[in-house]
Amino acid sequence: MGLSPQKNPISELLLTPNALKKIPAEQRVIIDTRAKWKFLSGHIPGAINMNNWREFTTKKDGIKGILIEDKTFISDTFSALGLNPKQLIIIYGEPSDPWRTDGRFFWMFERYGFAKVALLDGGLDSWKQSGATVERGFQKGRKFSKIAPETLKLNPDTIADKILINKVLSDKNYVLIDNRTQKEFQGATPYGSDRGGHIPNAKHIHWPDFFKNDGTLKSATDLSHLLKNAGVRSDQEVIVYCTGGVRSAMAYFVFRYLGFKVRNYDGSWWDWSQDSNLPIETSG
């Protein structure tokens, strides 16, 4: 018998609208990850729009979607937005977004060394349902916040690559979670991967299974049952992946919230499937 995956959630990583309202504006930065036109149509007052996760990626060895880790780029980009790693960053997106890119931004900020990052449960829909106001139009200008590149500390505990994964394939202290659709897990390649299938020994949990129909996160008890049924133990370190590290980044958030040690493989299946020396499975 394995240990139950029930853990104590890290409540500060997931905020309700009422909890957000209680945080003074000068103590937090709200980031809206939806499309620009949606932001202009209505957003949480004071929010800034970061709608394209691809702006923070590069192609490496032919693999697209790899997170940029150049500290000068990070410093220049965030300084222009008035952001720095000491701030509380609160992110929201679109509950109906099939990619849930708010999760990708959450993971990205943690990888970039931001220590206080949270998601708004249910996004703008839950904010509106709470009776809170929205504002329309362009975001307000923010004061430039210079970040010295040498002060940035990338968090090594947030990320995985194929070298690490290949090393721990049979290590029971780790568990691989494939967050794509069942068809992709079994071999479909709708996004142009070189091979179909999944990483050997990976468990399959389609990322939307973590959420209710309204886009809010399921209860910790329900999530515990889900993980137990998938064969995940509480003492395992989790590595999540999908096709290009976006859908899996939302799974990364869920495991972080539940108190697991977790890493996101941003190269994901695009990277793994391209390397013919690496094993794959198509059953399951």
CA distance linking residue 242 with residue 206, whole number of Å: 9
CA distance linking residue 167 with residue 234, whole number of Å: 21
Q: Are residues 99 and 200 in the same domain?
A: no
Q: Is residue 89 part of a domain?
A: yes
Terminal CA-CA length for the chain: 22
* pLDDT of amino acid 24: 94
In this prediction, residue 5 has a pLDDT band, given cuts at 50, 70 and 90, of: confident
Q: Pairing state of beta strands 57-60 and 63-67?
A: antiparallel
* pLDDT of amino acid 222: 97
Question: In this model, does residue 220 exceed pLDDT 70?
Answer: yes
Question: In this model, does residue 1 exceed pLDDT 60?
Answer: no
Q: Are residues 173 and 92 in the same domain?
A: no
Q: Is residue 283 part of a domain?
A: no
Q: Are residues 128 and 193 in the same domain?
A: no
**Where is the domain boundary, 151, 171, 205?**
151
* pLDDT of amino acid 2: 58
* pLDDT of amino acid 19: 97
Q: Is residue 72 part of a domain?
A: yes
Q: Are residues 71 and 169 in the same domain?
A: no
Q: Which residues, listed in sequence order, are joined to residue 115 by a DSSP beta bridge?
A: none
**Where is the domain boundary, 136, 151, 166?**
151
Q: Of 118, 119, 159, 123, whose CA–CA distance to 245 is shortest? A: 159
Q: Which residues, listed in sequence order, are joined to residue 63 by a DSSP beta bridge?
A: 60
* pLDDT of amino acid 142: 83
Helix (H, G, I), strand (E, B) or coil at 31: strand
230-260 tens-digit pLDDT? 999 999 999 999 999 999 999 999 999 999 9
Q: Is residue 6 part of a domain?
A: no
* pLDDT of amino acid 27: 93
In this structure, of 85-89, 94-98, 112-116, the range with the lowest mean pLDDT score is 94-98
CA distance linking residue 183 with residue 201, whole number of Å: 17
CATH of the domain at 262: 3.40.250.10
In this prediction, residue 283 has a pLDDT band, given cuts at 50, 70 and 90, of: confident
**Where is the domain boundary, 126, 151, 176?**
151
CA distance linking residue 125 with residue 129, whole number of Å: 6
* pLDDT of amino acid 146: 86
Q: Which residues of 17-26 are buried (b: 16+ CB within 10 A; e: fewer)?
A: beebeeeeee
The total domain count for the chain is 2
Question: In this model, does residue 192 exceed pLDDT 50?
Answer: yes
Q: Are residues 15 and 124 in the same domain?
A: yes
In this structure, of 53-57, 111-115, 144-148, 165-169, the range with the lowest mean pLDDT score is 144-148
* pLDDT of amino acid 284: 67
Q: Is residue 244 part of a domain?
A: yes
pTM across the whole model: 0.96
Look over the chain and give the mean of its residue pLDDT values, rounded to a whole number. 95
Domain coverage including residue 209: 156-274
In this prediction, residue 33 has a pLDDT band, given cuts at 50, 70 and 90, of: very high
* pLDDT of amino acid 175: 98
Question: In this model, does residue 54 exceed pLDDT 80?
Answer: yes
Q: Is residue 1 part of a domain?
A: no
58-95 tens-digit pLDDT? 999 999 999 999 999 999 999 999 999 999 999 999 99
The proportion of the chain whose per-residue pLDDT surpasses 90, expressed as a percent, equals 91
Kindly give, in sequence order, each residue whose CB lies less than 8 Å from that of residue 234, ignoring residues fewer than 6 positions away.
3, 4, 5, 6, 7, 260
